[in-house]
């Protein structure tokens, strides 16, 4: 679950990135409208945490622009202006959710997960496929009620696969989920984490489609 954070404050931006990663997200940080716009055009984000007051303009403009382009990525507004009127303006301006500063990191994570779940048309909190259950809020997964805590990278890969059951995800697509723009990609990281996941949930749960990528298999 890759998140774009658009926030100009260094302290908060860094905190959001680190904090969201602790919550199982992969986060990219943009510090201005221009940077945010560039990142959005590159695409690949499951949700956006958007500050309103940015040095080179308003987050509202960025939001309007992306909606005009037809970009429906869920947007959560982070703002100091949290009067009822501001909330209404923000939501009517195309935001999907609204969180007043200062906020709770856990709450932000939960709201982002909810936004992503709704955007993907799911109602249930837990992802299930082939007898494996994934709880994104706790980063835990398991068979038959026996839940195991996953590392962030394992969780990210399993979550990506379970969000699109049956679809083939390429190594590149999985790497995009694992790393932010600023991070260097480790060459065989995806293979290593797939290996770990197979060890936990069975070799045949994740199938390698030669030359294309990976997908989940129904029967184990």
Partner 1 sequence: MSMRARLFGILIAATGLLWLSATAWVYFSTEAQVERVLDARLREAARMVSSLIDSQEIGTAVASLDAAPLPDPQDATYERQLSCQIWSLSGDLVGKSASAPTERLSDHTEGFAERTIDGETWRVYAVQNEERGVQVLVGDNLDIRSRLVNDVVKGLAIPMALILPALAVILWIGVGRGLQPLSSLASTLRRRDADDLRPFPDSGPKTAAEIRPLIESLNELFNRLEDMRGHERQFLAYAAHELKTPLSGLKTQAEIALKSDKQSVRSTALSNILTGVTRTTRLVRQLLAMAEAEAATADTHQVRLSQVVQEAVAGHTTGADDPEIRLHIDPDLDDIDIATNETLLVLALRNLIENAQNHSPPGGSVEIRWTGAGIAVEDEGPGMSDEEIDRATDPFFRGSNRTPIGSGLGLAIVDVCARKLGGRLVLSRRAPAGLCAEIRFLSETQ
Q: Which residues make up the interface to partner 1 (CB under 8 A)?
A: 7, 9-16, 18-19, 22, 51-53, 55, 78-81, 100-106
Measured from the CB atom, the residue of 10 and 191 that comes closer to partner 1 is 10
Minimum gap (Å) between residue 211 Cβ and partner 1: 37
- Of 179 and 201, which has the nearer Cβ to partner 1? 179
Q: Judging by beta carbons within 10 Å of its beta carbon (0-12, 13-18, 19+), is residue 82 exposed, middle or buried?
A: middle
Please give the Cα distance from 114 to 138 (Å, whole number): 13
Q: Residue 119 region, left (φ>0) first, then alpha (ψ -120 to 50), else beta?
A: alpha
In the bound state with partner 1, the residue whose beta carbon lies nearer, of 12 and 168, is 12
Task: Quote the tokens at residue 193.
Answer: 């984490």
Contact 153, 179 (CB under 8 A): no
**Which of 178, 174, 153 lies closest to 216, judged by CA?**
174
Q: Which is nearer to partner 1, 81 or 110 (CB)?
A: 81
The smaller minimum CB distance to partner 1, of residues 103 and 129, is found at 103
Task: Give the chain's largest Cα–Cα span.
Answer: 54
Q: 71 near 47, Cβ under 8 Å?
A: no
CB of 50 to partner 1, least distance (A): 13
């Amino acid at each position: 679950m890759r998140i774009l954070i658009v926030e100009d404050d260094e302290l908060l931006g860094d905190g959001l990135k680190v904090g969201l990663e602790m919550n199982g997200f992969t986060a990219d940080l943009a510090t201005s409208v221009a940077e945010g716009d560039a990142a959005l055009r590159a695409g690949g984000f499951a949700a956006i945490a958007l500050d309103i007051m940015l040095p080179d303009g308003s987050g509202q403009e960025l939001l309007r622009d992306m909606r005009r382009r037809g970009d429906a990525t869920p947007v959560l507004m982070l703002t100091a202006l949290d009067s009822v009127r501001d909330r209404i303006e923000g939501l009517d301006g195309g935001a999907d959710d609204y969180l007043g500063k200062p906020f709770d990191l856990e709450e932000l994570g939960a709201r982002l997960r909810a936004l992503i779940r709704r955007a993907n048309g799911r109602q249930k909190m837990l992802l299930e496929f082939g007898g494996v259950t994934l709880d994104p809020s706790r980063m835990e997964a398991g068979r038959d009620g026996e839940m195991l805590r996953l590392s962030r990278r394992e969780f990210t890969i399993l979550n990506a696969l379970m969000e699109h059951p049956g679809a083939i995800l390429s190594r590149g697509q999985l790497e995009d989920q694992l790393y932010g723009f600023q991070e260097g990609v480790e060459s065989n990281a995806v293979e290593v984490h797939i290996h770990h996941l197979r060890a936990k949930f069975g070799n045949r749960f994740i199938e390698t489609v030669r030359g294309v990528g990976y997908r989940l298999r129904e029967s184990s």
